[in-house]
Amino acid sequence: MKNTFDYIIAGGGCAGLSLAYSLLNSSLKNQSILIIDLDSKKSNDRTWCYWTEQPTHFDHIVHRSWSKLAFADDKGELVSEISPLRYEMIKGIDFYDYMWSEISKHPNVEFLNARISDIGCNDEQAYVVVGQVRFFAKKVFDSCFNLGRLQSIARNDYHFQLQHFLGWVIETKENCFTSDVATIMDFRTEQEGQTRFFYVLPLSQNKALVEFTIFSSNLLNKNNYEKTIKKYLNEQLNIQDYTVKEEEYGIIPMTDAPFPEHPSPHIIPIGIKGNGAKPTTGYAFIRIQEQVKEITTQLEQNYEQIRLKSSKQRFKFYDTLLLHILEYNGAKSKYIFSRLFRHNPFKIILSFLDERTSIWNEMSIFASLPFIPFLKALYQTKIKTRKNKRYKELISSQNQRA
């Protein structure tokens, strides 16, 4: 194998493969590309859901699509039509298979199934180290994300929460699910001072992905997720007789820490590592597609330094306030989400989460929310931006007193 390429894609997951696909569908399709991943992506390691009203490159591999979404809490279930938006699900394995069926048509793309131990650069180019070998390229696109490293950067000066979840695809003997409604948040579970909800995606009338999701600083033992899923199935969905067909576990960082945007003009972080996930929801799939499109366009136009568009300041600010509440006042979040979903059209909420609303829409959303937790978050976040080193202790002691 040669050791110099035009581009190296470090990590062939969602962002890496999406970028390769995008480059191969552009005027750069003849550039030499090396994709390196320690996993050859032969299993269904996750499912991706997103909402859109536009056609995507992946329409033919969409596994399931819903035009109605539900929110539930102790007051009951609220169902809303979201068309022209569609809430869609893609299975990881279908995505990887499709990407590789397209990428492998191009002999200028090589794949190396190996662990990367280092990525660095000099003035002219970047390099990637695998074992004893160093591979060079004009640009390295890096999606090898390390949760522990981000956590240690973010922990002191920024908000940092983990979105962690265990999901089961279950099959029941009886028909138990309304197959055209996807439940994006069901808060009918003990909150334990955190944000805890269920996510239920019916795949048919007797099959569904049932996922227990938590926003918190620490993970649970597997046993605790399982116990809570069983209780929810039993007590809320009234399902006793079922078989678990598949399992999905994941952790997504939720933070306002600015990830290193451009370590060098030759190394471009992409995907989760390149700020691809919305800090307050963890949704990343569509943002990653937009990110790789932007990178491709800038490369086609010979930009020396890739500059990815970041969120508007006001959306960053809203994310910071909500992250603050999730981190320091988690017990309030069930009420906040309840007000959000019960007092605003679902389509506006989705548009808000996509950062596409107008200021007027946002004012109307905020008017529907309890203002005391937000005022408190505003005040406490101000202390934080003054870089008070004792921030965490200060807020905790204030919260204890309140």
Site residues (vs ligand FAD, CB under 6 A): 11-16, 36-39, 46-50, 115-116, 143-145, 248, 250, 252, 271-272, 276-277, 282-285, 288
Helices (H), 309-390: 313-328, 333-343, 346-353, 359-367, 371-385
* Least separation in angstroms between CB 368 and ligand FAD: 25
Neighbours of 303 (CB within 10 A): 12
Considering only the C-alpha atoms of the chain, give the largest distance between any 2 of them, rounded to a whole number of Å.
65
Q: Name which of 84 and 148 has its Cβ closer to ligand FAD.
A: 148
Helix/strand/coil for 247: strand
* Least separation in angstroms between CB 377 and ligand FAD: 25
Distance CA 13, CA 177 (A): 32
Q: Name which of 208 and 395 has its Cβ closer to ligand FAD.
A: 208
Helix/strand/coil for 364: helix
Q: What is the DSSP letter of 108?
A: T
Q: 171 has which bridge partners?
A: 207, 243
End-to-end CA distance of the chain: 63
* Least separation in angstroms between CB 289 and ligand FAD: 10
* Least separation in angstroms between CB 75 and ligand FAD: 26
Q: Name which of 15 and 395 has its Cβ closer to ligand FAD.
A: 15
Q: Name which of 96 and 391 has its Cβ closer to ligand FAD.
A: 96
Inter-CA distances, 237 with 38, 75, 83, 159, 171, Å: 39, 15, 26, 34, 13
* Least separation in angstroms between CB 241 and ligand FAD: 27
Helix/strand/coil for 277: coil
Distance CA 339, CA 332 (A): 11
* Least separation in angstroms between CB 94 and ligand FAD: 13
Q: Name which of 199 and 335 has its Cβ closer to ligand FAD.
A: 199
Q: Which two tokens stand for residue 241?
A: 């007789």
* Least separation in angstroms between CB 273 and ligand FAD: 6
Q: Name which of 14 and 82 has its Cβ closer to ligand FAD.
A: 14
Do residues 115 and 130 lie in contact, with contact meaning Cβ atoms separated by under 8 Å?
yes
Q: Name which of 48 and 66 has its Cβ closer to ligand FAD.
A: 48
Compute and round to an integer the Cα radius of gyration of the chain. Answer: 22
Q: Name which of 96 and 318 has its Cβ closer to ligand FAD.
A: 96
* Least separation in angstroms between CB 270 and ligand FAD: 7
Residue with tokens 């970041």: 310
Q: Which two tokens stand for residue 22?
A: 């995008």
